[in-house]
């Protein structure tokens, strides 16, 4: 196995992995595209499904990435998670609900 991780963000990346990087240690696939991309990867590849929630370092409304916005909008409390006010006094119930919803979605990709 090669000592690298292939990053797959689109259909053409799946083709490149199949042709040139099938020996990758892992293939990283963003959660927002996982359902579409994972079936296009070679069987037996070890897959890292990246939750893609690290964009919350800035408020949800400030992100120019419409695909990311649509992705995170499916999770409970998404609009509060990136709020500085919420960070100052987070509600652990909302945080747990958000985190477990993201993890459940990742888990569903691995079935």
What ranges in 1-111 are assigned the alpha helix state H? 11-20, 31-37, 66-72, 78-81, 84-88, 92-109
Q: Would you tell me how many other CB atoms lie within 10 Å of the CB of residue 106? A: 16
Q: Do residues 82 and 56 touch, judged by C-beta distance below 8 A? A: yes
**What's residue 66's pLDDT?**
80
Higher-confidence position of 97 and 81? 97
Could you state, in order of their start, the residue ranges of all structural domains in the chain?
1-50, 53-111
Higher-confidence position of 81 and 9? 9
Does position 108 have pLDDT exceeding 70, yes or no?
A: yes
What gap in Å lies between CA 53 and CA 74, rounded to an integer?
Answer: 12
Among residues 51, 52, 49, the alpha carbon closest in space to that of 26 is found at 49
**What's residue 60's pLDDT?**
60
Does position 111 have pLDDT exceeding 70, yes or no?
A: no
Q: What is the pLDDT of residues 13-66, one digit of tens each?
A: 999 999 999 899 899 999 999 999 999 999 888 999 999 888 776 656 666 678
**What's residue 75's pLDDT?**
93
């Amino acid at each position: 196995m090669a000592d690298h991780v292939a990053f797959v963000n689109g259909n053409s990346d799946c083709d490149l992995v199949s042709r040139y990087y099938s020996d990758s240690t892992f293939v990283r696939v963003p959660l927002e595209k996982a359902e579409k991309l994972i079936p296009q990867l070679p069987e037996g590849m070890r897959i890292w499904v990246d939750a893609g929630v690290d964009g919350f370092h800035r408020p949800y409304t400030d992100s120019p990435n419409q695909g990311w916005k649509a992705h995170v909008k499916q999770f409970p409390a998404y609009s509060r998670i990136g709020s500085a006010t919420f960070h100052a006094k987070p509600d652990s119930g909302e945080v747990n609900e958000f985190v477990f919803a993201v993890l459940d979605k990742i888990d569903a990709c691995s079935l």
